[in-house]
Amino acid sequence: AQSVTQLGSHVSVSEGALVLLRCNYSSSVPPYLFWYVQYPNQGLQLLLKYTSAATLVKGINGFEAEFKKSETSFHLTKPSAHMSDAAEYFCAVSARTPLVFGKGTRLSVIA
């Protein structure tokens, strides 16, 4: 069975600073990997996905993630945080199965 671990339930960064949200996965078969964002009182929106093409994946709003098989990681980064990035971020895995989500990381951006 696959699983996802998001390191840090809450991350706080200053506006303009690097955003790094960590995700490690476990899967017995090559996985699909996803990052979703959830703004308050809204549903989940897909930020980016890895589906076995390029290992460096670019998404919306300036986010990107790199699939590292040797480290079983799929960390999410953004060079410069904006206030509008404050939200809950979920990493998810699908190993040809329904999505399995991590517990989420709440990102706060300080002015």
Partner 1 sequence: DSGVTQTPKHLITATGQRVTLRCSPRSGDLSVYWYQQSLDQGLQFLIQYYNGEERAKGNILERFSAQQFPDLHSELNLSSLELGDSALYFCASSVGGNFVTYNEQFFGPGTRLTVL
For partner 1, the binding residues (CB under 8 A) are 32, 36, 41-46, 49, 51, 90, 94, 96-104
Q: What residues does 3 pair with on adjacent strands?
A: 26
Is 53 strand, coil or helix?
Answer: coil
* Paired sense of beta strands 3-7 and 19-26, if any: antiparallel
Which residue, 69 or 103, is less far from partner 1 as judged by CB?
103
Query: Least distance from C-beta 46 to partner 1, angstroms?
Result: 6
Which residue, 62 or 104, is less far from partner 1 as judged by CB?
104
Which residue, 22 or 49, is less far from partner 1 as judged by CB?
49
Burial class (CB in 10 A: 0-12, 13-18, 19+), 74: buried
